[in-house]
Amino acid sequence: MRLGDFKVLTFDCYGTLIDWEKGLTSALEPLVHRARVKLTPDAVMAEFARHEAAQQSATPAARYPDLLAEVHRRLARQWEVTLPDAQHAAFGRSVPQWPAFADTAAALGYLKGHYKLVILSNVDRESFAGSNAHLGVTFDAVCTAEDIGSYKPDPRNFRYLIDTVAKLGFPPGQILHTAQSLFHDHVPAQAAGLRSAWIDRRQAREGWGATPAPQGAPTYDFRFVSLAAMVSAHQADSSG
């Protein structure tokens, strides 16, 4: 199997294209600073992951800024911090300020010349539009949790993705789902019959960061430590 066997790259955004752990760390810093307990960065990310997954399961139709605000409230209660609602809401609106990984824009620019590019993201349209300004390309389709009414890893999100790509004229066998999170993306993508490429952004660090641990033994078809490494592999395939 080669990267050139596919016609469509479907992307998770946050954690894959956008450095959401850096963005989350910055946005959560005021709350963490006031916490009654001493927290390591890994502990902060793990608690965020736990509360976000629980909230997404409990309120799948909630828009992401509202869901993030509720996660912030949950963390504040856990860490015994009292804050005005405006600060919870501000955290919910922070997504457009989260930075892209350094290799993202150039890599997407290259890949755009070889594939259709599609987003499947656990955010709302407005938040993604803010992030898209950091990405440097126009995507051929954008599928958000707001459009679907549920959050990954719900199988509905991947059925919606497959249907969206079909409208572009491509069957599932021509899709390569490209993502960092084994929990949110690779397990359900493989269950939906899609091939996948793991962008292992955390390859030098222990733990799962801001995503829950995946269940079972996730599989994937390609692994790259960065999007730039994926581009290099495609260039090598193309010249071989």
Catalytic choice (5, 12, 163, 200): 12
CA dist., res. 212 & res. 89, Å (int):
24
Tokens of 21: 């752990």
- Retrieve residue 66's tokens: 């509202």
- Burial bucket for residue 198 (CB in 10 Å: 0-12, 13-18, 19+): buried
Is 12 considered catalytic here? yes
The DSSP line for 14-63 is BTTTB-HHHHHHHHHHHHHHH-SS---HHHHHHHHHHHHHHHHHH-TTS-
Structure tokens of 116? 């259709």
Name the residues annotated as catalytic.
12
